Amino acid sequence: MNKPNVLLICTDHWYSSLLGVAGHPSVQTPGLDEIAEGGVRFTNAYSECPVCIPARRTLMSGLTPKSHGDRVFNDTLTFPDVPTLAQAFRNAGYQADAVGKLHVHPQRDRIGFDSVLLDDEGRPQWGVIDDYDIYLGDQGYAGRQFDHGMSNNQYHWRPWHLPEETHATAWAGRMMARTIKRRDPTKPGFWYLGFRAPHPPLVPPQSYLDLYNDIEIDQPARGSWVSDDASELPFAISAGVQRMGRYNEQQLKGARKAFYALCTQIDHQIRYLVGTLRMEGLLDNTIICFISDHGDMMGEHGMLAKRMFYENSANIPMIIRGVKGCTRVTEGKTDNRLVGLADVMPTLLDLCGIDAPAHCEGLSMFSDQRRDTLYGECSEGDHATRMIHDGRFKLIYYATGNAFQLFDLDNDPGEMTNLSNQAEYHDVQTRLQQALADELYGQDLEWIQEGKFVGWPDKPFVLGPHRNLNSQRGDGWPPSPPVDIPQVEWHKNVGE
């Protein structure tokens, strides 16, 4: 039998529960639901560092953040000097092609792919015009990508302002279909598709907003541990809660509708790609893997965006459908083992009969090996948060304020009740604190003294104004010169 092809699809900001097959009451994902029914859905899949660049470094290297060197968002960090996921497939005789968002530095680094058609959300400050921007120019819309006026890091929304076929999601799906059709017929293909959505800006085509006109949009949950007075919360949580204060209830409901519309648009593009594989005679011999770099709080517990280890931010979709007749990838199965993005590389290679490079720290999700705990780390300084998860209990730690949260996800999947410091869970918390301590390194070791967590003193957070409207982008024609501006500025604190 010929080696299988692999189609790896990675979205941005899509959380695990945001699927019809997962029981979500509002979102429409008919294509992904059927793909999940024909494969395995891993329900305990997590982003080891739930923010774009570190998560993608983990995905493409098979390394944890500790090993690949980024748990913050270092947009000028070059890629680790190891064989990447793409290079590992190429070394095994595959043609490897990518379309969409890679989020690496420098932007045109192919990180092992034979070819890349790039959509990096329009980041011209480095003097690079990506392929999606070039496409818009060819269609007569040069520099018009951000005429909608929405920010890439805020949750205001409106319909897409150009013809639907020019939307980044539609372009990415179409370019991947073309990449598949122009494959080398003598080689199996490894195809990576990076959709930028549903990451803001929230600008779905009007036709996808219309699909939700008669659908009731669910309301975000709010745990009992979320105080009405944000100043009573640990620093990092307070920052997240205050950030959402910029939006009223009606605006947030509209944002959720727009977010779901972007997800449905992606779902339809995936259906289109399944149809392309089928018409090319490739579907039965192609592994399909659907993931996200991380999720989005989308109002849950009074917060938005990522960088947190609550389920909406860190628990990601992980769906793998095997080739026809594959006995290892059971149709319609859910698997609750703890997995992370570092596991994608060894898993896909394993399913193709290829040994993973020696540097890989992940595990094949179809092996007998299972981890006892999964460690997560995000940010440094006052916003630092860490997680240890044993498959049922999740312990979250905030160093500033020395605050713990403990959740029993079997009985409280919505994380409504913080069990930390409750007497009946003392042994669980003690065990997980020790497991967490064993994972810490570098500056984090300051948080432990004489075997006990002491962290850093808490401090107030007061959300300050954003002079740049949270990294707002604007007119793109003629192209702006390379400029020394931060790509993203988060959580401005008054007085700092």
- At residue 173, the pLDDT reads 98
pTM of the model: 0.97
Residue 360, CA atoms < 13 Å, CB-side half-sphere: 26
d(CA 226, CA 189): 48
- At residue 86, the pLDDT reads 98
- At residue 496, the pLDDT reads 63
d(CA 189, CA 286): 9
Is residue 103 flagged as an active site residue?
yes
- At residue 464, the pLDDT reads 83
CB-CB neighbours of 279 under 10 Å: 11
Structure tokens at 35: 């793909």
d(CA 342, CA 360): 8
Out of 52, 263, 289, 352, pick the active-site residue.
52
d(CA 234, CA 240): 10
Q: Annotate 55-107 with DSSP letters as a single string.
A: HHHHHHH---HHHHT-SS--TTPBPPSS--HHHHHHHTT-EEEEEE----BST
Is residue 263 flagged as an active site residue?
no
Mean pLDDT by 10 residues, the chain (496 residues): 92 98 98 98 98 96 96 91 97 98 90 96 81 97 96 95 98 98 97 98 98 97 91 91 90 98 98 98 98 98 96 98 96 97 98 97 97 97 96 98 98 98 97 98 96 95 84 90 79 68
Peptide bond into 205 cis (omega under 30): no
Out of 13, 68, 103, 294, pick the active-site residue.
103
Contact status, residue 283 vs residue 2, Cβ threshold 8 Å = no
Helix (H) or strand (E) holding 378: strand 374-378
Q: What is the pLDDT of residues 359-403, one digit of tens each?
A: 999 999 999 999 999 999 999 999 999 999 999 999 999 999 999
d(CA 435, CA 128): 44
- At residue 462, the pLDDT reads 86
Q: Per-residue b/e over 348-369, b at no fewer than 16 CB within 10 Å?
A: bbbbbebebbeebbbbbbbeee
d(CA 82, CA 79): 8
Contact status, residue 55 vs residue 47, Cβ threshold 8 Å = yes
Which residue has 């947190």 as its token pair? 308
d(CA 366, CA 351): 8
Q: What is the pLDDT of residues 133-152, one digit of tens each?
A: 999 999 999 999 999 999 99
